[in-house]
Structure 1
């Protein structure tokens, strides 16, 4: 049903300001006129304003603000990312749901989105505050790359988020290695990459994206108010999350395809342009030691390049104390 409804939306979108007759829709989709009418009624329940005029046909006048499979896909210009969308008003974690879908054989490019998470998680299994004022989504990918390259897709995702946030809001964010997006010195978004792989191939990879969008400062738990921010807080404006989601999916698909064909070099360059504290000294804590280092940039493989007493070394894991 959702697939047919999405095809109807695509037909209406292509028609733009023109009407498209019920008979045309019926012919293209090979369904009855009655089925077309029923789908239109379901779209209206979803919040679409549809004008129907005898002998002219149907035209979408207005799409709803709320998130749904239909509203996310309406106006989404991608070839494969988001062609299958799973939307939940509330779920424990989009990552957990995406993992179950991946095991069940869900296709490359499936997107899982929730209005609210009750058990959202970040890196190192930290809890992620996920009320219904942000974007909480997971992208299911089946990339033909080696498992060690998975971290590069985290970095790619970071470049997508900073570019989209800057283009939409005119606020310039920064990427804090390895998986956070900052505005100023506070976190506005995070990325969590998880995968199932064998020694030489990735079976599936799930990229979780969490963005604080419309929270006010007082909406954050007290312990996060000095550490977290939102796009609304930084711009003093409420935002349409559907538009941000569509921009992310469209930009991600383009960058992903470029990465698969051309490699990591372009992503590396963008990442370094937005890198947080590049050229600054920070404390790095690994399992072996804690030391002061200067952040230089990224290596060709995506590891963080740091310098200590004139010696440059790659950092593959560890905690940076900012």
Structure 2
């Protein structure tokens, strides 16, 4: 472990407390100059560290840069620091973790970023991923058959809702099949991708990507203001993102061991049943009424001619949500 990582672990463990440069130098068997240089590097990376002559170094309570030392101690076994890769910026966390999957990375491997330059949603749509959000992907090697693939997304949606409630005390809703909503606006989304064995009808691996708007550090594009929101209007007073990242990863890994077990909770959190919807893509487009979420996670709908069908996938729009 590098001096930077060791020092960051120590500062996080003593968050809000002042630690003298001499004390840290003795603890890590380096010079005070080495400590000072490392602190400078951490501050350049965005960590909020208060420093001053004869005052030592203090990691402030609202310092919330995504980093392994802050996330790893909060993970539940078998997840640990070796499963984590955290970067300030990447093209797309799903694409990055795909490279690790090709290199035989184990199930539970996670890739997190502070921002994405080419975030991607379903059907190749762009996913707005500015700084201040939480963007992560987990590699899975599920043993379930391919026809149950929807349950991977279902479990991920429930995992995020559980984690947000636990850490932020905020209740989210789910829009079938993969969108997370808060107060009638989209606050996050899930993208599940997989490489399959067509002959065996099984997965080689699957990747669950999650994007969640925590707060916006800068104004969002005008075209998104009516449809997109964040968990917080301004930056929280305390560090939230690392705690939330760990909570999501813990819930996600546990639920994905038996993804179909989250169906009942998914159904309860889903606000689509009972709504009039516009089916934009799928086996039959047009206006219909959403009736229920089936035992396979499909959406049962009824058209004006009373024809009922189940949607396995596709794009829908709630009529009173633009």
Normalising by structure 2, we get a TM-score of 0.76
Change (3 A) 1:88 1:236: closer
Q: CA deviation at 1:182?
A: 0.6
Q: How far apart in 1 are the matches of 2:29 and 2:99?
A: 35
The residue number in structure 2 matching 1:209 is: 210
Aligned residues: 283
Q: How far apart in 2 are the matches of 1:184 and 1:292?
A: 24
Q: How far apart in 1 are the matches of 2:71 and 2:172?
A: 24
Contact 1:81–1:109, Cα closer than 8 Å, also in 2: no
1:153 matched to 2:149? The reply is: no
**Greater Cα offset, 106-115 or 306-315:** 306-315
Q: Residues 272-294 of structure 1, C-alpha deviation per residue, up to 9 Å, x if partnerless?
A: 11102321221223455323322
Q: 1 or 2 for the larger relative contact order (CA 8 Å, sep ≥6)? A: 2
Normalising by structure 1, we get a TM-score of 0.76
Q: CA deviation at 1:311?
A: 5.1
Q: How far apart in 2 are the matches of 1:294 and 1:130?
A: 32
Q: CA deviation at 1:176?
A: 0.6
**SS of residue paired to 1:175:** strand
The residue number in structure 2 matching 1:67 is: 66
Q: How far apart in 2 are the matches of 1:282 and 1:170?
A: 30
Q: Residues 10-57 of structure 1, C-alpha deviation per residue, up to 9 Å, x if partnerless?
A: 9x98xxxxxxxxxxxxxxxxxxxx99647x9699665699xxxxxxxx
Change (3 A) 1:249 1:43: farther
The residue number in structure 2 matching 1:269 is: 264
Contact 1:81–1:249, Cα closer than 8 Å, also in 2: no
The residue number in structure 1 matching 2:137 is: 138
**Greater Cα offset, 170-179 or 116-125:** 170-179
Contact 1:297–1:306, Cα closer than 8 Å, also in 2: yes
Q: Residues 60-114 of structure 1, C-alpha deviation per residue, up to 9 Å, x if partnerless?
A: 9989632112222133233237641111111111111111111111111110011
1:252 matched to 2:252? The reply is: yes
Contact 2:279–2:317, Cα closer than 8 Å, also in 1: yes
Change (3 A) 1:306 1:74: same
Residue segments in structure 2 that go unaligned for 5+ positions in a row? 14-25, 50-57
Aligned pairs for 1:118-197 (under 5 A) are 118-197=117-196
**Greater Cα offset, 76-85 or 106-115:** 76-85
RMSD over aligned Cα, in angstroms? 3.3
Change (3 A) 1:68 1:168: closer
**Larger helix proportion, structure 1 or 2?**
1
Q: Residues 179-212 of structure 1, C-alpha deviation per residue, up to 9 Å, x if partnerless?
A: 1001122100000011111122211111110000
Match of 1:292 among 287, 290, 301: 287
Q: Residues 237-269 of structure 1, C-alpha deviation per residue, up to 9 Å, x if partnerless?
A: 456200111111122223223x1xxx62x4111
**SS of residue paired to 2:114:** strand
Residue segments in structure 1 that go unaligned for 5+ positions in a row? 14-33, 50-59
Q: How far apart in 1 are the matches of 2:194 and 2:307?
A: 33
The residue number in structure 2 matching 1:53 is: none
Q: How far apart in 2 are the matches of 1:150 and 1:252?
A: 15
